[in-house]
Chain A
Amino acid sequence: MIRPLIRAFHEPKGYFFLACLLALVFLPLIVENPFVLHLVIMMLFYAALGGAWNIIGGFGGQLSLGHAAFFGLGAYTCVLLHLYTGLNPWAGMVVGMVITSIFGAAISYPCFRLRGPFFTLATIAFAEVLRILATYFKNFTKGSTGITIPQNMGLANFMFKEKAPYLYIILIFALLVFVVSYLIEKSRFGYYLQALREDEDAAESLGINNTWVKLKAAVISAALTSIGGVFYAQYILFIEPYSEFSLDMSIQFALIPMIGGMGTAIGPIIGSFVLTPLQELLRSWLGGGFAGLYLVIYGIILVLVVIFMPQGILGLFKRSESEKETLPSGGGPNIRP
């Protein structure tokens, strides 16, 4: 199973990937500015969460607009356990993954037996319900006041004063999501997913158990998303229902792979590395002068990408690569119209 991954590193793009990885590893040693580190952390954070969404949304073609539910559920499970039982956040993360997987399966199973927009609607509703519950059970979740995580720095508590440890943790997490996605992309399971995305009836007639395959992808995606929720809670050290379970968050998770390239392992990384800095820099350059102008520009860029690159940024390169491959090898100059 690992073989395709190793093979990938024998190609030039594998080297490039490794070089970028090394650069990220050494970045905190060279750059001291916390804002730049924060930016890189957010880039990796959205790359990882876009990647987690991509497993069910991209490979499986099941549009979820409620991944914030899994995100918030992971965060709340971990923080509440830490608060009430003193459970270590790392262990809380595992518990969160288990709980989120169960919820993910419970919400997905009935929807995946149906055709149509039910999964999308159910995920949105699920996130809303969780937000309302988190607001309602004030005595337990502190309601809309939110929970401040008591500061107690150290690796064991998943809490650091510096940005560098967060950067390494999110880097490892983003890599994990990438490896999982890459293995899915190259595996039989991934082909099943892509087959049913293209045509459910055809896939079923080939003997694929559609519901089971989708369910598996949804559970993997939900579990990975919950890790992201825990990371975010430990990074900001504050959670509250409105931001944890927000629809904006869910849309952002879906937008990143859409712009980068859906249904590929590398797509969400490209999407996040382009969109996240773009958003932050546009805001810092234009946010002060003309209120809202940066949002207009950001919106226009998104619209243009969707119109001219429907396959995402990656699609642009995919197409030229496949054109190259169809050219006869060694047959004269590489002429393009």
Chain B
Amino acid sequence: MKRTKLRGWIALGLSFALLGGTSALGQETIRIGTLYPFTGPLAMLGTEEWRGAETARVVQNEKGGVLGKKIEFVKADAPDAKAATSEAERLITVEKVKIITGSYSSSIAYASTPVAEKYQVIYFEQGGIADNITQRGFKYLFRNNPLASDFGIRAIDLSEQTVCPKIGLKPANTKVAVIYEDSLYGTTVGTSAVKYGKERGFRIVADEPYSAKAVDLSSLIMKLKSAQPDILIATSYVNDAILISRQSKELKFNVKEFIGCGGGHGTKDTADALGDDINYIFNVDITQPRNTSEKFCPGIAEYSSRYQKIFGHPPRSGHSLRAYNGLLIAWDIIKKAGSLDAEALRQAALSIDIPEGKTPTGWGVKFAPPGHPSMGTNLRAKPIVMQWFEQEQYAVWPALAAVKDMVIPLPSWEERAKGKK
């Protein structure tokens, strides 16, 4: 018994040894904690986002780093919210980093950011899209990416400004159905589409959450079929996105326009599973590294080639691009602040003012000032709209980013299956 108790203490002792070992390092470099899910179900895109950050680090170090020092990353693996809190705690108190960047997933960002706030450590968020992450009045949290509600708003904007005129309807006569998977991501995007759609005078005929784990969504499709919507706005992960399209086709459920909001509607896996059935579907998403106009995203081609050089393959998705973009801005903020002092960094971040169309994602930068309900979030980051052509997505809206003209209305399943190009 004694011996086993001892094991616990030995392990604890070892943790002290760890503290002593690491905290003395790193006087000549700027150390930044990168908190991402590198393992677990979120690992694939979490790692992809980190790679974008790594690209930004390598590029900047070639230019001599910032403030005359090289940048060094301290990696922390946060597969879930529980791990995120302990890893944030470790990065700050053991590794003594002054800046953390992360975190791909909303749930991870939600759990790790309060820790950074408590210790007054600057947190540059690149991926968590849930609106409420920045609605807690945190002073040291800056989020570069668009909010979940922006996706819903964009989908409604698209319907109002381009779809409605093309199909010859006024919003008041247009029936819109909104479906979304019921976790945090789908719920925030879907409810924002419903809310904003109502404000713009659309007729919301369905507001249906469903479980992304479902293996049969035919009851949902039948419900939609009887509601006869003109426009369907869906927020899904991969498997359910595939299921919705397949079962809609089987049940001959056609709409005039289908708008997906990121997630499963924008991944290659969905395209592979659906084949030509994915063509002409709209996808409201973060800026992708391919098929987006350089006019809107200056530096996007350079980014792709740098990424390719470091990792040996082209960027897998827009997740890495947004982290790259966010960190380029972070370097600017550090340069402007002139030190790693949290207060100086905060003031520098608040003073950054970049219009749209000047960064590799095309997003402008203006962090919401103190007093704003979403303080610290980037007010100029907006998702763009893509459309699928021949199982490949191309930017179509806003006009500056577009590389192809959009096709409205959506051809019926039969026409798509015939391979009508």
Residue ranges of A at the interface with B (Cβ–Cβ < 8 Å): 12-13, 16, 20, 33-36, 38-40, 42-43, 132, 135-136, 138, 143-146, 148, 161, 236-238, 240, 242-243, 248, 266, 270, 273-274, 277-278, 280-281, 283-285, 287-289, 291-292, 294-295, 313-314, 317
Contacts and interface: CB of A to CB of B under 8 A. Distances in A.
Contacts of B111: 236, 238
A285 B5 CA distance: 23
B182 A291 contact: no
A248 to B, nearest CB: 8
Given A20-B5, A42-B86, A273-B7, 16 more contacts: A16-B2, A35-B94, A38-B85, A138-B187, A144-B183, A145-B184, A146-B184, A148-B132, A148-B136, A236-B85, A242-B107, A248-B80, A270-B8, A281-B14, A287-B39, A292-B39
B5 A270 contact: yes
Interface string B150-182: 000000000000000000000000000000001
A33 B1 contact: no
B66 to A, nearest CB: 22
18 contacts: A13-B2, A35-B86, A36-B16, A36-B19, A38-B85, A38-B89, A144-B184, A238-B110, A240-B184, A243-B80, A270-B5, A278-B11, A281-B15, A284-B94, A287-B39, A288-B74, A288-B75, A291-B39
B47 interface: yes
A16 B187 CA distance: 52
Contacts of B93: 33-35
B188 interface: yes
B76 A243 contact: no
The 4 A-B pairs of least Cβ separation, nearest first, read A273-B8, A288-B75, A287-B77, A291-B38
B274 interface: no
A238 B84 CA distance: 13
Interface residues of B, number: 47
A285 B132 CA distance: 32
Given A145-B184, A146-B110, A240-B107, A16 B5 contact: yes
Contacts of B87: 283-284, 287
A287 B94 CA distance: 15
Contacts of B182: 135-136, 143-144
Contacts of A40: 12
A238 B136 CA distance: 12
A20 B4 CA distance: 12
B82 A281 contact: no
Interface in B80-119: 80-83, 85-87, 89-90, 93-94, 107, 110-111, 114, 118
A41 B68 CA distance: 41
Contacts of B90: 35, 284
A181 to B, nearest CB: 15
Interface of B: 1-5, 7-8, 11-12, 14-16, 18-19, 38-39, 43, 47, 74-77, 80-83, 85-87, 89-90, 93-94, 107, 110-111, 114, 118, 130, 132, 136, 182-184, 187-188, 211
A218 B297 CA distance: 60
B1 A16 contact: yes
A151 to B, nearest CB: 9
- Give the most central of A281, A288, A317: most B CB within 10 Å: A288
A16 B4 CA distance: 11
A281 B11 contact: yes
A30 to B, nearest CB: 11
Contacts of B136: 148
Contacts of B19: 33, 35-36
Nearest to B211: A132
Contacts of B81: 236, 238, 240, 243
A274 B4 contact: yes
B76 A39 contact: no
Nearest to A290: B38
Contacts of B47: 291
A242 B183 CA distance: 8
A288 B20 CA distance: 18
B255 to A, nearest CB: 26
Contacts of A284: 18, 76, 87, 90, 94
A144 B106 CA distance: 11
A55 B77 CA distance: 34
A298 B350 CA distance: 44
A281 B43 CA distance: 20
A40 B15 CA distance: 11
Contact of A288 (B76, B187, B211): B76
